[in-house]
Amino acid sequence: MENNVKLKMTLPDIPDIELVAVEGLDKMARHLGISDEKIGEARILVTEAIINAIEHSGKEKMEVDVEFTMTKEKLVIFVRDYGQGFKPESVEEPDILKKMGTENKRGWGLKIMKSMSDDFLIESNENGTKITLIKNLV
């Protein structure tokens, strides 16, 4: 139990609910003695994965399943929504220069998750989207 801690939750779509997951992640990481730097990066990954699920599900009311599996060496973050899905390959990589002068400054979630994680997998279809992120903690 000491070497592998898990947390599963289903989050309702209410404002800032991602902070509940972040709080759980913090507790697990402190328990395992993970460094502040790695905890900070894990917080960003969790936040982006959950807001991505809530923002882009395309449903008015929805739930998001979140699961963390953490050891002293590695964190696996799994986030699943039951929305209408999207084609990840059709999402254009954001560029700050292109964002300037346009109305839409958003759309950074996938880039941040890819760049800050050590492994990133996204599966999406008409039944929803699953994101798996792996973060090395040492």
Partner 1 sequence: MEAEFNLTSEINNDCLVLKTDGYVNNYGGEQISNEFNKHFKNGIKKVVISLAKSKVVNSIGISFMIEIIEQLNEVNGKLYFTDMDSSIEKTLTIMGLFSYAGKASTIDEAIKSLN
- Can you give the binding site for partner 1, defined by CB under 8 A? 14-20, 22, 37, 40-41, 43-44, 47-48, 51, 55, 94-97, 99-101, 105-106, 108-109, 111-112, 115-116
Nearer to partner 1, 19 or 121 (CB): 19
Least spacing, CB of residue 2 vs partner 1, in Å = 26
Closest to partner 1 by CB, 55 or 119: 55
Minimum distance from CB of 9 to partner 1 (Å)? 12
3-class DSSP state for residue 35?
coil
Q: How far is the CB of 48 from partner 1 (least distance, A)?
A: 6
The answer to whether the beta carbons of residues 39 and 29 sit under 8 Å apart is yes
If the CB atoms of residues 16 and 126 are measured against partner 1, the closer one turns out to be 16
Q: Measured between alpha carbons, how far is 62 from 103 in angstroms, rounded to an integer?
A: 27
Of 1 and 14, CB closest to partner 1: 14
Q: How far is Cα 87 from Cα 1, in angstroms, rounded to an integer?
A: 38
Q: How far is the CB of 76 from partner 1 (least distance, A)?
A: 18
Q: What is the 3-state secondary structure (H, E, C) of 60-108?
A: CCCEEEEEEEECCCEEEEEEEECCCCCCHHHCCCCCHHHHCCCCCCCCC
CA dihedral in degrees (57, 135, 113, 54; nearest 10)? Answer: 20
